[in-house]
Amino acid sequence: MTTVLVAGGTGEAGRAAVAELLGRGHDVRVLSRHGGTPVPGSHPVAADLVSGSGLADALAGVDVVVDTTDGKSRRARPVLTTGAANLLAAAEAVGVARTVLLSIVNVDRGPLAYYRAKAEQERRYRAARLDTRIVRATQFHSFVPMLCAPAARVGLLPAFTHTAFQPIDVRDVARALADATDAPALADITDGVAQAPEVVGGPEILPMHDIVRQWKSAAGVRGVVAPIRIPGGLGRFWRAGENLVPEHRDGAITFAQWLAEQPRD
């Protein structure tokens, strides 16, 4: 039985990864700062990625680390950089065999500070003297609803013009992470060898206004779907389709199927 530690295992992607790994018969530890509430059947462990406190104990006996940590806010961003450095150093010290990192499609081209932090996280993983796998995914099904929900409170549903997304279900992402966990070992990792990132995308590419309208109907949200041109580097990034991977339609669960599963208030 493989012992897997999932960093960020109480988040959206992390919980899906934990469930998938448990379903494959792995012994799964869920790392969070305060222990959290893990998926039933997994084992909570507490450690602080930024300070490094508790990491050695949390990693003792671990075979594979799966990192699904996130840090969109400025305050949380050190989790991706300093946290990655501390986690990798502790993993090397205790003899972890493999690391698997969840990242974002074309993150190295992204214009935001968040993207730069994720790209730095990738660089740290590539430099580690460990068998490293990186899985880059398109945005989750929850991404556009998350963007729209705050404005929906005042009756406005923003739909960025000339912008499409390729939403993927976190369960499909979890399968890719678990496949990377179970893949055969690399032959030589003495110089920080990492395979090229694996890319996974959702099963369909949808204009943002279609996604917003589907969500509005399914969730019973009121408001006007308003076309808005998003400015700056992020707008250019999305309009250029840098968030899309048409050649990778790996996900099996469509946005409409995901919507049908969501509870309504």
> Measured between alpha carbons, how far is 7 from 61 in angstroms, rounded to an integer?
15
Q: What is the mean pLDDT of residues 5-27?
A: 96
Distance CA 231, CA 248 (A): 28
pLDDT of residue 224: 95
Tokens 């450690």 identify what position?
Answer: 47
What digits encode the pLDDT tens for the residues 26-82? Answer: 999 999 987 667 789 999 999 999 999 999 999 999 999 999 999 888 888 999 999
- pLDDT for residue 192 is more than 70: no
Q: What is the pLDDT of residues 110-152, one digit of tens each?
A: 999 999 999 999 999 999 999 999 999 999 999 999 999 999 9
Q: Which of 10, 62, 61 is nearest to 35 (CA)?
A: 10
Q: 188 vs 62, which has greater pLDDT?
A: 62
Which tokens is 103 given?
């990242």
Q: What residues does 6 pair with on adjacent strands?
A: 30, 66
Q: Helices marked H in 95-185 — which ranges? A: 113-127, 143-152, 170-182
- Name 29's Cβ contacts closer than 8 Å, sequence gap at least 6: 3, 4, 5, 6, 9, 42, 43, 44, 45, 58, 62
CB 5 within 8 A of CB 31: yes
The two tokens of residue 225 are: 């779907």
Q: Of 30, 104, 32, 25, nearest to 65 (Cα)?
A: 30
pLDDT for 74: 83
For the stretch 78-105, pLDDT in tens is 999 999 999 999 999 999 999 999 999 9
Q: Are 126 and 192 in contact (CB under 8 A)?
A: yes
What percentage of the chain carries pLDDT values higher than 70? 95
> How far apart are the C-alpha atoms of 235 and 218, rounded to whole Å?
27
Task: Please give the mean pLDDT across all residues of the chain.
Answer: 93
pLDDT recorded at residue 194: 59
CATH number assigned to the domain covering 3-137+170-200 = 3.40.50.720
Output the pLDDT for position 72. Answer: 80
pLDDT > 90: percent of the chain:
87
Note whether 107 and 115 are within 8 A (CB): yes
Question: Is the pLDDT confidence value at 191 over 60?
Answer: no
d(CA 40, CA 20): 12
Q: Where are the domains of the chain?
A: 3-137+170-200
